Structure 1
């Protein structure tokens, strides 16, 4: 970079890139020195090597580690220095500073009239559109809140209806079970009555067969039971099937 156009331009601005790089390298060296000095003190305290033969061995070991670290660090910093000089502080070819008497383009732009009618009209149109969008956004926000409230109300109504249906189904099942119990009880009662009636009818039929000389033998089966009672029993069973 020495003797180049970039160096001349930086010097004209009272800037020295190489001085900045050197100060950075010196700062890094100071940090490394302080770090290893602190490391030596802590190691000596922890290992209790003050005024002993091990103190010299510890110093040699720390110096060896520092030498290894310093070697790698110096290579890295040398690469960093080259990169800064070639890229960070290198100006494009043909670059030149404007002279003091030359007008600046930015100044010319600033001197142009600021009140452009077309530009103001466009800005006003954009402001109006932004205001309209803000109002529409507020309306949409209110509608959205109304829909949320309606949805919540609908969900509550659906929950109430579901609870009512569950309660109705539960009560219907209970009523059906009670109806079955009543039907079974009624069936048991009728069967008992039928059994008792059949027993009495059989005894009465046998008596009529024995004492009635004008009895109709066609209405009496082989066991002495009346066919009329059998027909009544069949009719009762048919009615029970309809239940």
Structure 2
């Protein structure tokens, strides 16, 4: 990766893939040293080998195990290092970083971001938006009040109409009853009705056709 296009790109960003890889490898070595140092102490305390001939045998056995682990670990870390250099930290061919802004352009952008006139216009628009929101809320309240008032008026009109209709129906029923009573009273006082009843008691052959028709009409009205 040294001298490659990828290295130049990372260096322009103040990044060093090689430094990252070396620090990672050193960290793994430090962890391995600490782990086997702790393992050696615990084994010595467990088997009580301090000051005896077994201490040398224990150290040789631990060193043998460490060499086996270290060899396998170095192989895997070497593969990891190659993968990082050829894939993780490799940029595509033709890749280029965007051009940095010149001081003049940066100053212009800052001026746009901190333009007092623009801020004042934005404040005016915010205030107008707030006023419109308040007016809209007020109109909504008025509309709801009108809807409630309209519903109340409609209900009152319905009650009034029902009351008037009920009153008219009562008057009509009373008038009908009065008319029937009047008709019955007239029938009672009608002399022809007595004649028809007398003829009926004497038998139908003694009644005229007009008397029979009038009698049938009276029966239908009763």
Q: TM-score normalized by structure 2?
A: 0.47
Q: TM-score normalized by structure 1?
A: 0.44
Larger relative contact order (CA 8 Å, sep ≥ 6): 2
